[in-house]
Structure 1
Amino acid sequence: MATESQIMLSGIMALANHVCRIEDKFQIPMLVKDGDIIIVGLFPVHFRVLAQNLSYHQKPKSLQCDGFDFRAFRWLQTMIFSLEEINKNTTLLPNTTLGYRIFDTCDNSYLALKGMVHFIGIKEELDYPGKCKHLISAAIGEAGSTQSVTISRIMTPFRLPLVSYFASCDCLSNKLEYPSFFRTVPSDTHQVMALVQLLLHHEWNWIGIVASDDVYGQNGLSMLTEQLKSTGVCIAFSFTIPQVYSKEKITSLVKEIQKSTAKVLIAFTTEGELPQFLKEIVRQNVTNKQWIASDTWVTATFFSKEEFLPALFGTTGFAFRRSHIPGLKEFLLGLRPSKGALFANMLWEELFKCRLNFSDNPIVGTTALTSPVCNGSEHLQAKNSIYADTTQLRASYNVYKAVYAVAHAIHNLLCPEKNQLITTCKQGLHFEPWQLLHQLKTVTFRNQFGEEVHFDENGNSAPIYDIMNWRKDNTGAIEFVQVGSFSASAPLGKQLIINRNIMWTGGDIQVPRSVCSERCQPGTRKVVQERDPVCCFDCLPCADGEFSNETGSSVCNKCPSDHWSGHGFTKCIPRQLEYFSLEDSMGIVLTVIALIGVVCTTAVLVIFFHWKHTPVVKGNNAELSFLLLGSLALCFLCSLTFIGQPSAWSCMVRSTAFAISFVLCISCILAKTTVVVAAFKVTTPGSDVMKWFGPLQQKALVFLCTFTQVVICVTWLIISPPFPSQDTSYHNTKILSHCNVGSALAFYLTLGYIGFLCGVCFLLAFLARRLPDAYNEAKYITFGMIIFFAVWMAFIPTYLSSPEKYTVAVEIFAIQFSSFGLLICIFTYKCYVLLLRPESKHTKYYKEQKVLQKTNTLYG
């Protein structure tokens, strides 16, 4: 089904093939001034249209407007002021006058479209027959993006330029759809960019968005939502204000705002959509929200009234650049009402709350019929009105630039020589709309305020904004204070500048917090729950061995292997290095035991040396006994190497010293056992077997057995020696320092060799256990080996089950206990005889001559 705009457009196109005439009267209130070139102006002098009850039985009456907008009327007057200023200029369009047709759109797309269709349809005949030209050459307007979209679509087929002073919707940058559209304001793309940077600057990540239900609001909401996706800012709620007022709907929306935890509220709306909504905001006492205003209403003085102050005090937002226009205030104040001056009369009646005695105002709802009568002699200076306020000329300044941009484009078209000496344009005044459109694309000029005016490839102006803040002046009235600026063309990081303190909602100078969840403190990390926005999260403590020293961290960092997370998990502290040392009570005890063992061994050695010529000592092979005692002393001493912090040298010494000392000890016992077995088991008369078990052979056996272990140990140290290692899995806050065996094969080979010698020794001693009663050496050795085996067999499970560093204590204990076992079993009874039974130490236990002869022969 064809839209209304398409029907109108087809009618206009058909009109071009007939005689130029007006088919109907549109009855549009307008301001008219003739000139050589006519420019149309579209302004929302009223900000709403009264609803009609359409019966469809008769032609509907013209729409009636309500809500006189003083600020928009100032914009209208600024266009007239600009045109008059240009007409007086002798260098810009000399001898050429610019006229205008200005009408009120009432902030309504239908009326805006109706007006433009009316003017596009009016054509004038040229001097030669059959040719017509459009009455208008360009249009200035409209304020609303929705209206600008509608008007631009109707003007595009005719290539008529439209220059807006307020429409900022990014959709209008599409030159494929709107090739004839220009604007003296930045695109909303840059405003959205500025809003996002403002949110990030103040660390707001939980916001609400309210948008108007039109092209401007919906497009702004869409862009803002899209850009916020990659910034970590979440939208708590977003909705559009219905264009058709519904108390139930508005009340429901305000209640949603009130219960939301979001403290910052962005209002991406047009000025006309807000009044009823804000009244409900005030009625429900929603005064704890920080309002961020879009450029359409951030300097709208209409909302600075006392009734809106509780909710809007502290409002902040981005406004178009401001400038002072010399002479404008005097021009505005020079306005006077008169019969036929429709808009001036409306202003007068609204401002002075009266009804002019000559008023022909057809607009319903501006003033009541019971208002007092005035005659127009009142003074505008006496009223502190929005209309005459020229301190915040932003949209007015954009109107001023738009008019001058069109004028310069026409001048470039009609006066191409650019010669300062000429005073008239040589070309005729007739030109096609597409020619002016082309000139607007390339027009560049510097106005009297030093600003360079031009349009980019999308018809947009320089993306520069002022940051405005609503605060009270000395009289208690709201004033708009500039607190910073935003320039999209500045280097990244320098685009947003805030150079003054901002007064926030409620008069607070402290930046309000608007977050779904407070930032996680150091020592914790944020965890987003499934289906929740990324801004809503829980804060969980870091795990053991992790830390977080930043606020708002999403991950906890791993501590280095030699560190652990300290109290509060905010930093890593060095782990305590733990090893078996003398600081432990167990270490002291084992050290004392080792020293006792050395002392006892030394004492036995002294006793044996003192009675070395006795049969008891000789019968036990004095040299092997001395060597055995020395090796036992070494065993006790090597256990001390296991105490203290492991180092490269201590690890190598403790492993090899233990292996060699024990092999030396077992070798001596093996030699003694072998001789005893040979002496008492070889009974063949005249046998020369015993010559292989003499003193030299015994020493060779000890040397050979010990040398084999030495070779194994040296090979171990060369190929893969033991080295100090640290076990970080031992304890959270501690590192266990221990010795790594290096080559496991070498380690097990040394232990296996010790076990092999012990097994052979035990076997031989067991075979010789039934020797004559006068000679019990084999029994003592057997008992010593049994104890040795018992200790080391018990050592294995105990070692594996001992906690942490006490595995070293178990190993030391095993060394010491097995050493004491050998010392006690082999030497205790002999020392007893030597010390306490001196009368028996020569004959009693060796009375049998055979025993004495054999042992003396073997041991020399």
Structure 2
Amino acid sequence: MWKSKLAALTVFVLKWVLGFESVVLKASSFSCRLQGISKPPVLSKEGDFVIGGVFSFRPQVRTVEHNYTRQPEPMQCTGRLLLTGLSFARAMEFAIKEINSKQDLLPNITLGYQIHDSCTVIPMAVNAAFQLANGQDAEIVTDASCPKVASVAAIVGDTSSTPSIGMTRVLGLFGIPQVSHLATCSCLSNKQQYPTFFRTVPSDNFQAAALAQLVKYFGWKWIGAVRSDTDYGNSGMASFLRVAEKEGICIEYSVAFVKTDPLRKVKQVAEIIRHSTARVIVAFVQASDLRVLLVQLTKEPQPRLQWIGSESWMLEPDLLNFGLFAGAIGFSFEAFAMPGFRQFLLDLSATEASQTSLVKEFWEDTFGCKLQGEITQMGLEQGVRVCTGSENLSNVNSSFTDTSQMRVVNMVYKATYAIAHALHGVVCNSRQQGLPHCNKSMEVEPTQILQQLKKVNFTVNGYSVMFNSNGDPASGAIYELINWQVSKEGKLQFVTVGNYDASQPKGHEFNLSRNISWINGRAEVPVSVCSESCPPGTRKAAQKGKPVCCYDCVQCGEGEISNYTGMSNVSLFRR
């Protein structure tokens, strides 16, 4: 626990905020007590060393209006279980199970884990960060023997940029490293602001450039832009707009929202999109936000739009139910192989599922039954079906067990391995012959893990893992180009149609491997312009107050000539 540093931080805050210059807290006199009840992790396992995990298992947070007459109730994550969050958690469990069975990585040491739910909001993510740092103790009392170690060696997570920023601002005070699998905001590369943050996923600077090149590649000059009003959406869209402007691309509108905005604001965004003239829309939006917008867009007829998507929603199975996205294209991370992971998922039994409420809920939702132990007489009278225990995930068609689209789960896997390698560098000594010797009783300070994370360089499943000076993947960025195509059975499906490699020379980053199915299944590339090209004999005349892509076509004056389509200037014709 960080009792000593917590006391020092308290002294600093009192001096800085209150102006007390003579504050002295003796180790024997300082203590603090947790108000309320600490939340236990949703998934956990004991170990010699423990790794923290923060993922989003629920889409919303329940808040209670405070009347200041009693102690406030703690926030709770609510809503249906998100299978993506459960997949990330299981990937972390799978990686730790593999590591615990290895003899060349942390031999004779058992790794444990504590995994918390952030429900993709800052307060819950920060709360999880504090709990992972301090543990579950209700009272902290400093004394001379107080160890300077945190409850966990390091933390994997969070899934989104904004909660990750909240977490790393807290964790950075204590030097606790955090390795995210999906926080892509380019702002997190700033090591002065976020010195303990690492990630196994590329920065959005790469994706913003890729999206601009994609729009340019297909000749679209007139587009709409919508983004999540978060660090992820605002930073990513700002990077995209900077590159797009340099490429001569005009933006008809650029709007932002989040799912928690008042309904009237979401409706306003829907109306802007519905009445726009641009037929191409770039959406740098998180899936949970986009789902709220689509509900409004489907309430009224609208022109068919060509959607261009960021990685946050391009492979979101829940959005396949919205027919608006037929023909959508966008980027996702490169697919990786994780041998043994699918079997690990399928090997889950009813007995194992009943041991934790989170997995128990998944099991009951998947098979439409109730595990024994909590079924009331009323439930039996209402015809609640009891799980037999013979249910088998192999017989279920679920996105949870579909490992053909393994991308982000691999980022969790690599993040877990990176922390394990860093821990190995601290507690294990290499031997010239035989296995390394590891000290499982060693008190490890997070700053030691932090320094080792900067040095990790290993290969797992054929893929290299190391970080550059910004804490980003040293390998750069490779994206797959995904197209939402209608199958022969009439269902929308994700199809990889090419890739984008940022390391290739400019102009050669794209490689299309198969045909793209556009709006309504057409083979022709959609057209989106503010003004049609001016024919020979006319020239462009800028429209006042509008972007350069919007113009009128006017007849050439006497002594002027335009001899090809789309001329802006004309040549003097001498008689």
TM-score, L = length of structure 1 = 0.59
User: What is residue 454 of structure 2 aligned with on the other side?
Assistant: 441
Structural mapping, 1:530-569, within 5 Å: 530-543=544-557, 546-558=560-572
SS of equivalent residue, structure 1 residue 67: coil
Instruction: For 2:278 and 2:93, locate their aligned partners in 1 and report how far apart those are by CA, in whole Å.
Output: 45
CA apart distance, 1:50 = 3.1
CA apart distance, 1:264 = 1.0
User: What is residue 534 of structure 2 aligned with on the other side?
Assistant: 520
Instruction: For 1:473 and 1:302, locate their aligned partners in 2 and report how far apart those are by CA, in whole Å.
Output: 17
Q: Percent identity?
A: 35
Task: Find out whether 1:475 has 2:489 as its counterpart.
Answer: yes
CA RMSD of aligned residues (A): 3.0
CA apart distance, 1:550 = 4.8
Instruction: For 1:276 and 1:36, locate their aligned partners in 2 and report how far apart those are by CA, in whole Å.
Output: 44
Contact 2:459-2:465 at 8 Å conserved across structures: yes
Q: 1:469 to 1:22 in 2, by over 3 A?
A: farther
User: What is residue 480 of structure 2 aligned with on the other side?
Assistant: 466
Instruction: For 2:324 and 2:446, locate their aligned partners in 1 and report how far apart those are by CA, in whole Å.
Output: 48
User: What is residue 345 of structure 1 aligned with on the other side?
Assistant: 360
SS of equivalent residue, structure 2 residue 179: strand
Please give the per-residue CA displacement for 1:504-531, whole angstroms capped at 9, x wherever unaligned: 1221221111111123344443222221
Which of 75, 79, 101 matches 1:66?
79
Please give the per-residue CA displacement for 1:3-36, whole angstroms capped at 9, x wherever unaligned: xxx9997599999957898735322442111112
User: What is residue 34 of structure 2 aligned with on the other side?
Assistant: 23
Instruction: For 2:383 and 2:268, locate their aligned partners in 1 and report how far apart those are by CA, in whole Å.
Output: 37
User: What is residue 17 of structure 2 aligned with on the other side?
Assistant: none
Task: Find out whether 1:501 has 2:512 as its counterpart.
Answer: no
Please give the per-residue CA displacement for 1:720-753, whole angstroms capped at 9, x wherever unaligned: xxxxxxxx5xxx3xxxxxxxxxxxxxxxxxxxxx
Instruction: For 2:123 and 2:66, locate their aligned partners in 1 and report how far apart those are by CA, in whole Å.
Output: 16
Task: Find out whether 1:392 has 2:392 as its counterpart.
Answer: no
Instruction: For 1:16 and 1:290, locate their aligned partners in 2 and report how far apart those are by CA, in whole Å.
Output: 65
SS of equivalent residue, structure 2 residue 405: coil
User: What is residue 452 of structure 1 aligned with on the other side?
Assistant: 464
Q: 1:17 to 1:550 in 2, by over 3 A?
A: farther
Q: 1:246 to 1:214 in 2, by over 3 A?
A: same
Instruction: For 2:161 and 2:111, locate their aligned partners in 1 and report how far apart those are by CA, in whole Å.
Output: 26
In structure 1, what residue type is equivalent to 2:284? F
Please give the per-residue CA displacement for 1:104-126, whole angstroms capped at 9, x wherever unaligned: 11112111111111121239999
Contact 2:42-2:117 at 8 Å conserved across structures: yes
Contact 2:531-2:552 at 8 Å conserved across structures: yes
CA apart distance, 1:184 = 0.7
Contact 1:206-1:262 at 8 Å conserved across structures: yes
Which of 336, 346, 356 matches 2:371?
356
Q: 1:438 to 1:374 in 2, by over 3 A?
A: same
Structural mapping, 1:637-652, within 5 Å: none
CA apart distance, 1:272 = 1.6
User: What is residue 773 of structure 1 aligned with on the other side?
Assistant: none
SS of equivalent residue, structure 2 residue 403: coil
Contact 2:428-2:436 at 8 Å conserved across structures: no
Q: Which has the higher helix share?
A: 1
Q: 1:69 to 1:517 in 2, by over 3 A?
A: same
SS of equivalent residue, structure 2 residue 465: strand
Q: 1:355 to 1:278 in 2, by over 3 A?
A: farther
Contact 1:48-1:272 at 8 Å conserved across structures: no
User: What is residue 244 of structure 1 aligned with on the other side?
Assistant: 260
Q: 1:40 to 1:545 in 2, by over 3 A?
A: same
Instruction: For 1:343 and 1:243, locate their aligned partners in 2 and report how far apart those are by CA, in whole Å.
Output: 24
Structural mapping, 1:444-843, within 5 Å: 444-448=457-461, 450-461=462-473, 462-543=476-557, 546-558=560-572, 732=575
Task: Find out whether 1:261 has 2:273 as its counterpart.
Answer: no
Task: Find out whether 1:160 has 2:171 as its counterpart.
Answer: no
Larger Rg: 1
Instruction: For 1:113 and 1:35, locate their aligned partners in 2 and report how far apart those are by CA, in whole Å.
Output: 24
User: What is residue 212 of structure 1 aligned with on the other side?
Assistant: 228
Q: 1:323 to 1:530 in 2, by over 3 A?
A: same
SS of equivalent residue, structure 2 residue 268: helix
In structure 1, what residue type is equivalent to 2:482? M
Contact 2:541-2:553 at 8 Å conserved across structures: yes
**Structure 1: stretches of 5+ with no match in the other structure:** 1-5, 361-366, 559-563, 565-727, 733-860
SS of equivalent residue, structure 1 residue 89: coil
Please give the per-residue CA displacement for 1:471-518, whole angstroms capped at 9, x wherever unaligned: 123433322111111122211111122222111122122111111112
Instruction: For 1:9 and 1:268, locate their aligned partners in 2 and report how far apart those are by CA, in whole Å.
Output: 38
User: What is residue 344 of structure 2 aligned with on the other side?
Assistant: 331
Instruction: For 1:370 and 1:9, locate their aligned partners in 2 and report how far apart those are by CA, in whole Å.
Output: 56
Task: Find out whether 1:57 has 2:69 as its counterpart.
Answer: yes
Which of 56, 59, 65 matches 1:44?
56
Q: 1:382 to 1:149 in 2, by over 3 A?
A: same
Which of 159, 167, 186 matches 1:143?
159
User: What is residue 193 of structure 2 aligned with on the other side?
Assistant: 177
User: What is residue 586 of structure 1 aligned with on the other side?
Assistant: none
Contact 2:540-2:568 at 8 Å conserved across structures: yes
Instruction: For 2:145 and 2:8, locate their aligned partners in 1 and report how far apart those are by CA, in whole Å.
Output: 26
User: What is residue 406 of structure 1 aligned with on the other side?
Assistant: 419
User: What is residue 275 of structure 1 aligned with on the other side?
Assistant: 291
Q: 1:164 to 1:47 in 2, by over 3 A?
A: same
Which of 295, 312, 316 matches 2:329?
316
Contact 2:43-2:115 at 8 Å conserved across structures: yes
Instruction: For 1:143 and 1:169, locate their aligned partners in 2 and report how far apart those are by CA, in whole Å.
Output: 11
Which of 92, 100, 103 matches 1:79?
92
**Structure 2: stretches of 5+ with no match in the other structure:** 1-5, 15-24
Contact 2:486-2:521 at 8 Å conserved across structures: no
In structure 1, what residue type is equivalent to 2:360? N
Structural mapping, 1:115-154, within 5 Å: 115-122=128-135, 129-154=145-170
CA apart distance, 1:250 = 2.3
In structure 2, what residue type is equivalent to 1:539? C
Q: Which has the higher contact order (CA 8 A, sep 6+)?
A: 2
In structure 2, what residue type is equivalent to 1:402? A
SS of equivalent residue, structure 1 residue 94: coil
Q: 1:208 to 1:79 in 2, by over 3 A?
A: same
User: What is residue 825 of structure 1 aligned with on the other side?
Assistant: none
Contact 1:12-1:121 at 8 Å conserved across structures: no
Q: 1:139 to 1:517 in 2, by over 3 A?
A: same
Contact 1:165-1:399 at 8 Å conserved across structures: yes
User: What is residue 438 of structure 2 aligned with on the other side?
Assistant: 425
Contact 2:148-2:445 at 8 Å conserved across structures: no
CA apart distance, 1:315 = 1.4
SS of equivalent residue, structure 1 residue 257: helix
Instruction: For 2:12 and 2:92, locate their aligned partners in 1 and report how far apart those are by CA, in whole Å.
Output: 28
Structural mapping, 1:84-95, within 5 Å: 84-95=97-108
Task: Find out whether 1:198 has 2:210 as its counterpart.
Answer: no
Instruction: For 2:27 and 2:346, locate their aligned partners in 1 and report how far apart those are by CA, in whole Å.
Output: 47
Please identify, of 115-124 and 499-508, the stretch whose mean Cα deviation from structure 2 is larger.
Answer: 115-124
SS of equivalent residue, structure 1 residue 224: helix
SS of equivalent residue, structure 1 residue 459: coil
Please identify, of 207-216 and 170-179, the stretch whose mean Cα deviation from structure 2 is larger.
Answer: 207-216
Alignment size in residue pairs: 544
